[in-house]
Each structure stands twice: as structure tokens, then as C-alpha cells.
């Protein structure tokens, strides 16, 4: 199939429905591109070719993505019969007995799971480099990072292996790789999909699952597939009024857009990042939207303190599932993970709750901004994609 990359996921599924191509032929096209590009990118770290062919042979559901090859990130989501390692040697033998609910929903949509993609250990860094699986490179320039932590998925999509791939986001892990690789990346609303049955919520609600994709409509249609709770979820998001795919096709009303070309922390921005957000602001204004410089008023330091507390405590919790609460063998985790877990282990329960409340207070401050504006338009990152190795995964300075 020579024009595989010219179609998004919905487009490929339409070809299958019309009988113009078979799921097996789509898988072959994906595997050809993986064989061509993965040796230089290291995007796919666990091939599941035989399982994908078996899934096709067993018959696929007639869902919106019937026959489309798909990749799952090596973090959070479980694929039956395939280790869920969190890109950590500590979890190298963690074999799930069943698919996680989000993966099961993806299968029911007709997606063919053909492999798992690289992640930094426990998704803790903004680059995709791990001691377990090695580093992933950006398809556009292989001396640069694809971002993290969903960099394996982003590299696979940007290179044309698959039109979309599973991703997760707690602190930018969908949005950063999407920005670095020129893709569309949406972090869904808290509890829009379920973390079950393994967990009640990820990172105390900060982490969500979705995809990185080449088209907006694929992202919308996939969100229709995975949205909704499962029995026992601690809370759920308000259901949408109509399918997200329908929203993509609806005319857009005039929006109130506040944009910023400075970082809340005061970190200097690369001129190209400033130029990009200013170009986007001018484009939105030319489309008839109200655009002005504006930012929410909140305490960035308090927000960061709460964020660090949640990440440190959850890192220790991830380790405690294996060790029973003891610190791990240093040979089984990376230095940054070990240092962050040490910090998490030392956080008193009362301080954890207080810092979490502080995080919620800042979130409410930011939410007030959206009483006046529909969108806050900012650069995703303060810098352009960094060279491979700029973020030393051996560091223990948290």
C-alpha cells in the first residue's frame, strides 16, 4: 500500500469498510514503515506482530477504526499477555492478566494493537530516554528529542508508522511530544476516561489517557471511543452533549481568547516560540475571534509545590507496589526516580494533603480566568526541541 501515510485513522477504516484494503494489508504497510524507521528512531520497543495478526484472524469489531494499526504507550495502559514495565527495570516482569479498560475499548473500536511505544521511566521526564529501552529520536531531526513522556508514540505517528497512537498526560506528556513532533495532542478533562480496573485515578487526577494524532478528527473520534467511567470509578466527568466527532464539524462561534508570550515562572522564551504563539493569535483574530493579551492570576510557586508533591508521592507509591514500601535496589531504577521516591517517602501525610489543597486552590484561581475567556493561548514549551542527551537521565537532582 503506497499511500498509507496519506490517510488518517478514520480514512484507513473507511478504505477497509469499502473493501479497498484489508486489515492485514494495513498491518503489512505499518510493519514495512516500522522496519524502515524504527532502527533509527526507537519508537516501538515491544513489537506485537503475531498478536496483531491473531487479532485480525479472530475477526474485528465493526467499529469506527476497524482494521487500523495502533500502538500503546509503555505506561499505565495494560495489554494482556505483554509486560507493562512503565519503562522501568523494576517492573520488567509485570505481566497483566487482562487488558485495561481503555485498551479494551480501543479493541472494540476495531483498532489492531501492533506494539508498545517507548517512555521515560514512570513517565517522569520531558524527554523519552530510559535505561531499560534506550532513547527515542525525533523523526524530523534525529539529533533532537521527540519530547516526553509520550515521545515513542509521537515519533511513531510523525514518522508515518501509524496515524495515531496511545499517549498519557499528567504534566504535559501528550502536549510536549505533540509540539516537538508537529502533531495534534489533547489532554482530556479529568476523569473523561477511566483508569480502571488497575487504578482509581492517576497522579491524584492529574493524569489522563488519550492519543497523539495527525488529524483533529481522529483525536475526537478516539475520545468518543474511550470516554466514560466504569463501575467503581471515584468520580466522572459530565458527559458531552453530543459526540466529539460531531463537534469537529460544527461551525465555531466567536471565541474570547487570551494569549501570553511569557512564562508564569519568568523563564525566558525562545524567540521562535514567541513568534509561533503570536502568529497563532493573529490567525485566530483574522478568523473573527476576540484576541487580547491576558493570563490568569495565580501563584506559580504554590502550583509547582503541589505538583512536585503529587509526583514524588506517586513515584514512591509506584515503587511500593513492588517493594512493599522499602526503597528499591538502586540497580533497578534510575537515579532521578530513586531521588524522587526518597522525597516522596519523606512527605508526611498532613503535608501531602495541605500541598494538594494548595494545588486545588491554584486550579480554582486559574478556572476563574475561564469565566472571562474561552481559551488561553500559550507556547507549549519555552524552548524548541532540545538535542538528544540535554536532559541527563542519570541525574538525581530533583
CA distance readout (Å), 266 to 269, 341, 382: 9, 28, 10
Same domain, 191 and 49: yes
Q: DSSP secondary-structure letter at 189?
A: P
- In the annotation, is 116 catalytic? no
Dist CA 315 CA 85 (whole Å): 14
Q: Among 333, 381, 370, which residue's Cα sits nearest to residue 173?
A: 381
Query: What pLDDT is recorded for position 130?
Result: 95
Same domain, 50 and 167: yes
Same domain, 10 and 153: yes
- Which residue range forms the structural domain that includes residue 146? 4-249
> Are the beta carbons of 258 and 292 closer than 8 angstroms?
yes
Q: DSSP secondary-structure letter at 71?
A: E
- Ranges in the chain, pLDDT < 70: 398
The radius of gyration computed from the CA coordinates of the chain, to the nearest angstrom, equals 21
Helix (H, G, I), strand (E, B) or coil at 135: strand
In a domain, residue 375? The reply is no
DSSP state string for 303-353: HHHHHHHHHHHHHHHHHHHHHTTSPPPGGGS-HHHHHHHHHHHT--HHHHH
Same domain, 227 and 320: no
Q: Is 22 exposed, middle or buried (0-12, 13-18, 19+ CB in 10 A)?
A: middle
In a domain, residue 214? The reply is yes
Half-sphere exposure (Cβ direction) of 187: Cα atoms closer than 13 Å:
20
Query: Per this entry, what is the length of the chain?
Result: 398
Query: What pLDDT is recorded for position 398?
Result: 67
- In the annotation, is 179 catalytic? no
Query: What pLDDT is recorded for position 266?
Result: 86
In a domain, residue 389? The reply is no
CA distance readout (Å), 264 to 180, 186, 299, 358, 381: 21, 21, 9, 17, 12
In a domain, residue 394? The reply is no
Q: Which of 249, 265, 283 is the last residue of a domain?
A: 249
Residue with cell string 481559551: 375
Same domain, 231 and 314: no
Which residue of the set 88, 125, 130, 149 is catalytic?
149
Which residue of the set 88, 100, 173, 219 is catalytic?
173
Grid cell locating 183: 502533531
Query: Does the global pTM surpass 0.95?
Result: yes
pLDDT in tens, 136-190: 999 999 999 999 999 999 999 999 999 999 999 999 999 999 999 999 999 999 9
CA distance readout (Å), 53 to 1, 77, 153: 17, 21, 21
Grid cell locating 27: 498491518
- In the annotation, is 173 catalytic? yes
Same domain, 312 and 244: no
Same domain, 201 and 333: no
- What total of structural domains would you count in the chain? 2
Q: Where are the beta strands (DSSP E) in the chain?
A: 44-47, 69-73, 112-117, 129-130, 134-135, 164-169, 184-185, 208-213, 256-259, 290-293, 375-377
In a domain, residue 388? The reply is no
Same domain, 105 and 215: yes
Helices (DSSP H) in 8-71: which residue ranges? Answer: 9-17, 23-41, 49-57
- Compute how many other C-beta atoms are within 10 angstroms of the C-beta atom of residue 339: 17
Grid cell locating 23: 486489515
In a domain, residue 272? The reply is no
Dist CA 32 CA 41 (whole Å): 14
Helices (DSSP H) in 140-183: which residue ranges? Answer: 151-159, 175-181
The CATH number covering residue 153 comes to 3.90.1300.10
Amino acid at each position: 500500500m503506497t499511500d498509507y501515510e496519506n490517510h488518517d485513522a478514520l480514512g484507513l477504516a473507511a478504505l477497509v469498510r469499502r473493501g479497498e484494503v484489508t486489515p492485514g494489508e494495513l498491518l503489512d504497510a505499518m510493519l514495512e514503515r516500522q522496519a524502515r524507521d524504527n532502527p533509527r528512531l526507537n519508537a516501538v520497543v515491544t513489537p506485537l506482530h503475531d498478536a496483531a495478526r491473531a487479532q485480525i484472524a479472530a475477526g474485528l469489531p465493526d467499529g469506527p477504526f476497524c482494521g487500523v494499526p495502533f500502538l500503546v504507550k509503555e505506561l499505565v495502559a495494560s495489554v494482556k499477555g505483554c509486560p507493562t514495565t512503565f519503562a522501568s527495570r523494576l517492573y520488567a516482569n509485570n505481566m497483566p492478566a487482562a487488558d485495561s479498560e481503555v485498551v479494551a475499548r480501543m479493541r472494540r473500536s476495531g483498532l489492531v494493537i501492533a506494539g508498545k511505544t517507548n517512555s521515560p521511566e514512570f513517565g517522569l521526564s520531558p524527554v523519552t530516554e530510559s535505561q531499560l529501552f534506550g532513547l527515542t529520536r525525533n523523526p524530523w531531526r534525529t539529533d533532537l528529542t521527540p519530547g516526553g513522556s509520550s515521545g515513542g508514540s509521537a515519533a511513531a505517528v510523525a514518522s508515518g508508522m501509524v496515524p495515531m497512537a496511545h499517549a498519557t498526560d499528567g504534566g504535559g506528556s501528550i502536549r510536549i511530544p505533540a509540539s516537538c513532533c508537529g502533531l495534534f495532542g489533547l489532554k482530556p478533562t479529568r476523569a473523561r476516561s477511566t483508569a480502571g480496573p488497575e487504578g482509581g485515578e492517576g497522579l491524584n487526577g492529574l493524569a489522563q489517557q488519550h492519543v497523539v494524532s495527525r488529524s483533529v478528527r481522529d483525536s475526537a473520534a478516539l475520545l468518543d471511543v474511550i470516554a466514560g467511567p466504569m463501575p467503581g470509578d471515584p468520580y466522572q466527568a459530565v458527559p458531552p452533549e453530543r459526540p466529539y466527532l460531531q463537534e469537529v464539524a460544527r461551525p465555531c462561534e466567536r471565541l474570547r481568547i487570551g494569549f501570553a508570550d511569557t512564562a508564569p515562572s519568568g523563564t525566558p522564551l525562545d524567540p521562535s516560540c514567541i513568534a509561533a504563539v503570536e502568529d497563532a493569535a493573529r490567525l485566530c483574530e483574522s478568523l473573527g475571534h476576540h484576541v487580547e493579551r491576558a493570563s490568569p492570576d495565580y501563584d506559580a510557586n504554590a502550583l509547582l509545590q503541589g505538583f512536585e508533591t503529587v509526583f514524588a508521592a506517586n513515584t514512591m507509591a509506584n515503587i511500593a507496589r513492588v517493594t512493599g514500601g522499602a526503597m528499591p535496589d538502586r540497580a533497578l531504577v534510575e537515579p532521578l526516580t530513586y531521588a524522587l521516591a526518597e522525597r516522596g517517602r519523606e512527605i508526611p501525610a498532613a503535608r501531602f494533603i495541605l500541598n494538594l489543597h494548595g494545588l486545588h486552590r491554584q486550579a480554582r484561581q486559574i478556572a476563574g480566568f475561564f469565566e472571562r475567556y474561552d481559551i488561553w493561548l500559550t507556547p507549549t514549551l519555552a524552548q524548541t526541541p532540545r538535542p538528544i542527551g540535554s536532559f541527563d537521565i542519570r541525574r538525581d537532582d530533583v
